[in-house]
Amino acid sequence: MESNKIFIAVLALFLSFTVTANTEIESLSGEAKKSQVSDSEALNTIFQLSYSASAENHPPQQYSEQQRQFNINALAKTLVTFYGLDELHEFRPSNPGSQYSRYYILQHYYNNKPVHNEIVTIGLDENNSIIKFSGGIQASATFNASKVGIKARSTTETSSKSIIYWLKNNSQSPLSKYSLTINSAVEMTYINKGEQYVPAYKVDVFYVDNDGQPNRDLLVIDPISKEIYQQSDLLKLSSEVQAQGSISITKPLHSKGSNFFKGEREYSVPFAPKITDCKFLTYIDEFYLNKRLLVTMNMSNSIIIDQGDAYMLNNEDCANESIFYEKDTVGLTYAYSPLADAHFHAELVMEMYNVYLQEAILGVCTENNTHPNCIQYYQNSGVNNDVPIYQGVHYGDSYVGAFWSGGAAYYGNGGFSILPNVSLDMVAHELTHGYQEISGDDVYFRALDETTSDIAAEAVKEFVFNKTQGTDHSYFPDESYITDYRYLFGKEIVREDNLSIRVLLSPVIKDIPKEATGIGQHDLSGPITLVFANLVSEGKLKNFKDAFKILANSKKTCVNTSIIGYAGLNLAANCIVDLANGMEYSDAIDTVNIKNELSTAFTGINLNIE
């Protein structure tokens, strides 16, 4: 009886709050809305009622997919009620999420279109009560509790195809002089300078400029006027790779190419690649369906042999690639070229993802999947196939660096001191940028993404060492992984001994600054990467496998475009701590006491863990 009284009292509070929200929110200023959003008690009251309605008869298990789905549904309804919105508004998860996390990131949608930058992050405690709330919907001159005013528009065709055609072909387009690859074009709602909600498209575009430099831009563009509201550079590449360490002697090369280890490689059948027109192709035959998973292409016909004799394929080599793959010796390849190295290394990275995460790196092609690789290479017939991975080797003339374009990984040939950029850790780093990718431009956001890629690079070296050590095809000679390669990113591609691209235990900066003006994403990632490298080095994280699994899951749950500045990174760090704790609770990682260890380590680099 007492519980019924409590329920009726709470219901009365809920109804009174709903009426207040529906009748008074129209007159709220932006500051008043912020104040109301901070009222977590009222927000939590609505959430508890919504959650109880769906879970009362079937309470889900802690850290289960069912519990996460119940919470998503309840939180989405809660936010609509809290803001006093009508049926045209809804909130949907902005990323896949992880069952091990109690953090939820929800995107505001109006009339089935995402509203630009209107993202809410909510954290729950172990009792399933709201303890964190960040973000929200903006005040707008046209905002109304029952309707968001959409600026009147012309009836001119505004499909994504027309936007792409204009970008590629119209002389007024700033990009028309380049050959463009469109990774995605998403219809959305944008709040313009006049605080009006207007239709727009978010376009992810890749191109190479007249100087041969790769560029990847994120455009928010008006489909009628073609005004570009926002343009962000997503690559931010350094002009050259900076090696760290003290120079001593030049490394002896045991094979001509990026790979100076033993040339003979063992592939697991049916993963042995086929070679066609200078491309390595990997297929898997499953249920009589030919699934293309990996294609590695030669990007350049140029013959460039630098003074350090870094080898790369020429056209004659491409015509006689049986030197790399013997048809009668299925399962073996001779990795004497960057092309063969890149392909083999990518397969090892794919295998690690399958073993550790039970996932394909780029996901699975579905009917609604607009990934360009599904559309272009399966011709819309690849539903339920893994999204194929494409790689380009010998990118540019003496280009130093590697990058992820949004649809493929590209690796440069290097220069006098840098070998072709196709080492095992470099390939893992670039492919991980494609895993659960979200296009965000803030430097703190990009720094966290760089850390995930660097830890994936360490994890794959550890994975391959454990997989091949003691076999006839040991990847690392003797104990060289532990003595010479652990914690050193890109050591294999730097020609001089005692040098690497990055030293994980000795980053350029040691603490996260509250203001990052002038600091690049790779340098800013250093302290975050140091947290995980130190924990592994000190035995507080059992291995890089656990570190990778935590950060890979964080890309599903904690990483989103609302990470802006130091405060946003703090929110993400708290989410990662919560996620790691849930993974330990669920035996998804082998490490113990991870919440305390990770909290202490994050605090040590000037992040605030609550």
- Does residue 610 lie within any of the structural domains? no
Is-contact 158 223, C-beta < 8 A? yes
- Does residue 609 lie within any of the structural domains? no
Range of 326's domain?
244-604
Q: Is the pLDDT of residue 582 over 60?
A: yes
Instruction: Out of 214, 233, 252, pick the residue that ends a domain.
Output: 233
- Statement to judge: residues 204 and 286 lie in one domain: no
- Does residue 151 lie within any of the structural domains? no
- Statement to judge: residues 252 and 218 lie in one domain: no
pLDDT in tens, 312-345: 344 554 444 433 443 444 444 444 467 778 887 8
The pLDDT score that the predictor gives to residue 370 is: 65
Is-contact 369 452, C-beta < 8 A? no
pLDDT in tens, 269-295: 444 455 554 556 565 554 334 455 788
The pLDDT score that the predictor gives to residue 8 is: 38
Task: For residue 96, count other CB atoms closer than 10 A to its CB.
Answer: 11
- Statement to judge: residues 385 and 293 lie in one domain: yes
- Does residue 38 lie within any of the structural domains? yes
What pairing do the DSSP bridges indicate for beta strands 402-404 and 332-334?
Answer: unpaired
Q: Is the pLDDT of residue 508 over 80?
A: yes
- Does residue 144 lie within any of the structural domains? no
| 528 compared with 85, residue with greater pLDDT | 528
Q: Is the pLDDT of residue 2 over 60?
A: no
Instruction: Work out the widest C-alpha separation in the chain, in whole angstroms.
Output: 87
In SS3 terms, 117-175 reads as EEEEEEEECCCCCEEEEEECCCCCCCECCCCECECCCCCCCCCHHHHHHHHHHCCCCCC
Instruction: Out of 213, 233, 253, pick the residue that ends a domain.
Output: 233
pLDDT in tens, 360-413: 999 888 877 667 777 766 666 667 778 888 888 878 877 888 999 888 898 887
- Does residue 147 lie within any of the structural domains? no
- Statement to judge: residues 185 and 299 lie in one domain: no
Is-contact 146 80, C-beta < 8 A? no
- Statement to judge: residues 60 and 99 lie in one domain: yes
Closest C-alpha to 296, from 115, 420, 131: 420
- Statement to judge: residues 89 and 227 lie in one domain: no
The pLDDT score that the predictor gives to residue 322 is: 36
- Statement to judge: residues 181 and 259 lie in one domain: no
The pLDDT score that the predictor gives to residue 316 is: 53
- Statement to judge: residues 368 and 502 lie in one domain: yes
| CA 523 – CA 502 distance, rounded (Å) | 10
Instruction: Out of 120, 135, 150, pick the residue that ends a domain.
Output: 135
Mean pLDDT of the chain: 77
| CA 263 – CA 298 distance, rounded (Å) | 19
Query: Tokens 């309470």 correspond to what residue?
Result: 59
Is-contact 349 428, C-beta < 8 A? yes
CATH code: domain of residue 446? 3.10.170.10
- Does residue 76 lie within any of the structural domains? yes
What is the residue type of 92?
R
Q: Is the pLDDT of residue 548 over 90?
A: yes
Which of the four pLDDT bands, split at 50, 70 and 90, describes residue 435?
very high
Report percent pLDDT > 70 for the chain. Answer: 72
Q: Is the pLDDT of residue 79 over 60?
A: yes
- Statement to judge: residues 228 and 258 lie in one domain: no
Is-contact 22 145, C-beta < 8 A? yes
At residue 358, φ and ψ (nearest 5 deg) are 55, 40
- Does residue 384 lie within any of the structural domains? yes
- Statement to judge: residues 312 and 214 lie in one domain: no
Is-contact 180 234, C-beta < 8 A? no
| 28 compared with 62, residue with greater pLDDT | 62
- Statement to judge: residues 130 and 192 lie in one domain: no
CATH code: domain of residue 183? 3.10.450.40
Mean pLDDT of 493-498: 81
| CA 76 – CA 92 distance, rounded (Å) | 7
Which of the four pLDDT bands, split at 50, 70 and 90, describes residue 6?
very low
pTM comes to 0.84
The number of domains in the chain is: 3
- Statement to judge: residues 334 and 465 lie in one domain: yes
Supply 546's token pair: 């656990």
Under DSSP, the state recorded for 483 is I
Task: Say what the alpha-carbon torsion angle 430, 434, 440, 441 is, to the nearest 10 degrees.
Answer: 20
> Per this entry, what is the length of the chain?
610
The pLDDT score that the predictor gives to residue 241 is: 63
Supply 596's token pair: 């305390």
Is-contact 448 557, C-beta < 8 A? no
Q: Is the dihedral of CA 181, 184, 189, 193 positive or negative?
A: negative
